[in-house]
C-alpha cells in the first residue's frame, strides 16, 4: 500500500484583499457542480452537522447550499452542538460587531473540540476572505480545522475530506472570484419561501463596504438557469421567491452577448406561477425606467422595494462613492411612487461616516421624512480594513454617532407607526408562515410588502394565504382579524 501524502501548498490558499479588488476582463465560466466524488459520498453517514449563519440573506442561502452538499455526503442536520461532527460558522464581515461575535463563538466552542477531537470546526463566508481574519485564526485559534472562502463552497467535499485526514488547518480561499457554479445541491430551510441567486458579487466599491472584496466581481447567472430554478420552485409549491444579488439592478450587465437586464428578468418571472416574487438588494444608481415599468404591472411582483439610500447628503454620498446625489435619489423615489402608488419603500442608512457633520446628518433626517419609508435598517459606520474610508480621518466621537442613531431610529419609528396606522381597517393578503414566536395561539405571516401580521386563526391556515383585516397597527408589526381564506377554498 502506498502512503498518501497531502500537498498542503495546494490546499493552503490564503486570501488577499488587494487581489480581490482587481477586476479582470476575462469571461466567467458557467460550470456544473461536479458530483460528490465516490470516495467521500458516504463520509457523513451516521454523522451530524450544524451551521451557524451570520449576516445577510446571501449568507443564509449559501448555508442552504453548504447544507445541501453535506446532506449529499450523508450528514444529517442537528441543532445540538454536542452531537455535531461538523460545525461551520458561515460568517459576515460587513461590520466589526458581526466579526466580534464570530470570534467570541470560535473561542466559546473550543472545549467541545477538546472533548471531541474528531469534531471538524470550520469557518466560511465573508470573514474568511479577509487575510487579517485568517491570520488571527491561524495564530490564536488553532482548534479550527478548516477555512474556506465564498468562492470555494463547491469545493467543500474535497476540503472536508482533507480536513478529516489532515493534521494541520486546511485553508482554501480564492481571492479572485470563482466561476458561476450551477446545480449545486440545496437543503432549503423554508418550505414556503425560497431564495434564488440571480447574480454574485459587486462592482460598486462604495468606499465603506467590504462586500466587493469578499464577494468578488459582478457575475450574472444565465436567464435560462434563473428561470428554470424559479419554475421548479413554483412546481414544488413555493409561495414566495426572493431574488438575491448584492446589486440586483446590475443583473445582466456582464452578459455581453445578450441585451437582457433585470427588468427583462422580472418581466419573464412575472409569467411564472409563483404567487410572490421579491428581490434584494437594489442600488439606486442602476434602477432603470424599464424595471419600474415592469414592477408597476404588479401581479406576482410585490410592491415592496428596498432602496438603500445610506445618506441624505450629497457630499456624504459622493464620499461614499454611491454615484448619485440626494436629488437623483429623490427623483427616483418620486418616479417609483408615481408608477406604483401603493409601493412600500424601505432603506439602509449609515450614520457617522467619516467627516459627517451635524448639518449633513440633518439632511439624512430630512430625507427620511421626505421619502417616508415604511422601515429602515440603520447602522453606525464601522471601518473595514482594506476599504478606502477606513483610512480617512474620523473625528466624530462615538457618543455623537450613537446619539445620531437614536435620533434616526426615533424619527423612523414615528414614520413607521404612521404608515402602519394607514392600514387600520384595511384587508391585506397574508402568507401564513406559522405560530407567532411570542404566542403559540396566534398565527403570524407577512403581507406582500413584507410586514409582519399577527392574528388568530386555525393552524390549518399555515402555508396558505389568508385575508386579514388590520385592527391593531403597531410600529414594527400589525395585529389583525381573519376575514376569509378564499385561496384555501380554491386549493
Footprint of ligand 5AD (CB under 6 A) = 94-95, 208-209, 308, 310, 348, 350, 379, 381-382, 384
The DSSP letter of residue 3 is: P
As measured in angstroms, the least distance from the Cβ of 354 to ligand SF4 is 16
Helix/strand/coil for 64: helix
As measured in angstroms, the least distance from the Cβ of 246 to ligand SF4 is 4
As measured in angstroms, the least distance from the Cβ of 208 to ligand SF4 is 7
Q: List residues binding ligand SF4 (CB under 6 A).
A: 202, 204-206, 209, 211-212, 246-247, 283
As measured in angstroms, the least distance from the Cβ of 246 to ligand 5AD is 9
Q: Which does 445 bind (CB under 5 to 8 A by kind): ligand SF4, ligand 5AD, none?
A: none
Q: Which does 381 bind (CB under 5 to 8 A by kind): ligand SF4, ligand 5AD, none?
A: ligand 5AD
Cβ-contact 313, 352 below 8 angstroms? no
Cβ-contact 265, 223 below 8 angstroms? yes
Residues 430 and 119: their CA atoms lie apart, in Å, by: 43
Cell 459587486 sits at which residue? Answer: 202
As measured in angstroms, the least distance from the Cβ of 323 to ligand 5AD is 14
Closest among 423, 313, 316, 317 to 368, alpha carbons compared: 313
Classify strands 304-306 and 344-351 as parallel, antiparallel or unpaired: parallel
Q: Which does 283 bind (CB under 5 to 8 A by kind): ligand SF4, ligand 5AD, none?
A: ligand SF4
Q: Which does 202 bind (CB under 5 to 8 A by kind): ligand 5AD, ligand SF4, none?
A: ligand SF4
Q: Which does 247 bind (CB under 5 to 8 A by kind): ligand 5AD, ligand SF4, none?
A: ligand SF4
Nearer to ligand 5AD by Cβ, of 69 and 94: the residue is 94
Cβ-contact 437, 465 below 8 angstroms? no
CA 414 to each of CA 31, 76, 372, 377, 406: distance values in angstroms, whole numbers, following the listed order: 49, 45, 10, 15, 12
Q: SS3 breakdown of the chain: % helix, strand, coil, rounded to 5?
A: 40, 20, 40
Nearer to ligand SF4 by Cβ, of 242 and 477: the residue is 242
Cell 425560497 sits at which residue? Answer: 194
Cβ-contact 276, 230 below 8 angstroms? no
Nearer to ligand SF4 by Cβ, of 243 and 423: the residue is 243
Nearer to ligand SF4 by Cβ, of 72 and 214: the residue is 214
Q: Which three cell numbers stand for residue 126?
A: 465573508
As measured in angstroms, the least distance from the Cβ of 249 to ligand SF4 is 9
Residues 49 and 67: their CA atoms lie apart, in Å, by: 8
Q: Which does 212 bind (CB under 5 to 8 A by kind): ligand 5AD, ligand SF4, none?
A: ligand SF4
Nearer to ligand SF4 by Cβ, of 250 and 466: the residue is 250
Q: Which does 382 bind (CB under 5 to 8 A by kind): ligand 5AD, ligand SF4, none?
A: ligand 5AD
Nearer to ligand 5AD by Cβ, of 98 and 443: the residue is 98
| DSSP secondary structure letters along 399-454 | HHHHHHHHHHHHHHHHHHHHHHHTTTT-EEEEEEEEE-SS-TTSEEEE-TT--EEE
Nearer to ligand 5AD by Cβ, of 87 and 209: the residue is 209
Amino acid at each position: 500500500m502506498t502512503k498518501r501524502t497531502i500537498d498542503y501548498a495546494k490546499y493552503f490558499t490564503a486570501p488577499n484583499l488587494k487581489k480581490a479588488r482587481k477586476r479582470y476582463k476575462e469571461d466567467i465560466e458557467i460550470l456544473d457542480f461536479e458530483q460528490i466524488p465516490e470516495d467521500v459520498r458516504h463520509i457523513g453517514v451516521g454523522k451530524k452537522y450544524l451551521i451557524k449563519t451570520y449576516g445577510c440573506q446571501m449568507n443564509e442561502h449559501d448555508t442552504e447550499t453548504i447544507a445541501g452538499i453535506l446532506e449529499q455526503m450523508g450528514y444529517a442536520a442537528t441543532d445540538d452542538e454536542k452531537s455535531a461532527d461538523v460545525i461551520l460558522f458561515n460568517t459576515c464581515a460587513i461590520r466589526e460587531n458581526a466579526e466580534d461575535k464570530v470570534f467570541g463563538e470560535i473561542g466559546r466552542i473550543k472545549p467541545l473540540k477538546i472533548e471531541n477531537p474528531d469534531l471538524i470546526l470550520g469557518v466560511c463566508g465573508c470573514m474568511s476572505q479577509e487575510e487579517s481574519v485568517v491570520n488571527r485564526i491561524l495564530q490564536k485559534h488553532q482548534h479550527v480545522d478548516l477555512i474556506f472562502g465564498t468562492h470555494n463552497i463547491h469545493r467543500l467535499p474535497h476540503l472536508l475530506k482533507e480536513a478529516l485526514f489532515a493534521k494541520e488547518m486546511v485553508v482554501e480561499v480564492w481571492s479572485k472570484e470563482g466561476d458561476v457554479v450551477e446545480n449545486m445541491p440545496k437543503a432549503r430551510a423554508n418550505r414556503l419561501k425560497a431564495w434564488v441567486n440571480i447574480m454574485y458579487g459587486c462592482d460598486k466599491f462604495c468606499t465603506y463596504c467590504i462586500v466587493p472584496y469578499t464577494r468578488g466581481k459582478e457575475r450574472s447567472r444565465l436567464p435560462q438557469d434563473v428561470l428554470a430554478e424559479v419554475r421548479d420552485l413554483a412546481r414544488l409549491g413555493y409561495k414566495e421567491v426572493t431574488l438575491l444579488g448584492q446589486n440586483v439592478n446590475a443583473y445582466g450587465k456582464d452578459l455581453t452577448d445578450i441585451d437582457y437586464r433585470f427588468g427583462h428578468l422580472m418581466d419573464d418571472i412575472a409569467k411564472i406561477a409563483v404567487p410572490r416574487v421579491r428581490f434584494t438588494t437594489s442600488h439606486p444608481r442602476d434602477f432603470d425606467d424599464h424595471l419600474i415599468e415592469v414592477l408597476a404591472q404588479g401581479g406576482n411582483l410585490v410592491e415592496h422595494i428596498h432602496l438603500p439610500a445610506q445618506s441624505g447628503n450629497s457630499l456624504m454620498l459622493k464620499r461614499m462613492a454611491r454615484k448619485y446625489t440626494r436629488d437623483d435619489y429623490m427623483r427616483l423615489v418620486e418616479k417609483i411612487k408615481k408608477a406604483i402608488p401603493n409601493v412600500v419603500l424601505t432603506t439602509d442608512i449609515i450614520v457617522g461616516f467619516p467627516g459627517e457633520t451635524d448639518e449633513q446628518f440633518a439632511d439624512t433626517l430630512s430625507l427620511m421624512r421626505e421619502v417616508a419609508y415604511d422601515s429602515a435598517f440603520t447602522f453606525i459606520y464601522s471601518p473595514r480594513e482594506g476599504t478606502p474610508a477606513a483610512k480617512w480621518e474620523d473625528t466624530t466621537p462615538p457618543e455623537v454617532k450613537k446619539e445620531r442613531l437614536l435620533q434616526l431610529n426615533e424619527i423612523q419609528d414615528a414614520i413607521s407607526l404612521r404608515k402602519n396606522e394607514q392600514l387600520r381597517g384595511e384587508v391585506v393578503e397574508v402568507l401564513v408562515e406559522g405560530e407567532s414566536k411570542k404566542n403559540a395561539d396566534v398565527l403570524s405571516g407577512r403581507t406582500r410588502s413584507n410586514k409582519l401580521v399577527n392574528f388568530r386563526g386555525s393552524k390549518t391556515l399555515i402555508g396558505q394565504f389568508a385575508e386579514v383585516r388590520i385592527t391593531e397597527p403597531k410600529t414594527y408589526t400589525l395585529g389583525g382579524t381573519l376575514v376569509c381564506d378564499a385561496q384555501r377554498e380554491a386549493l
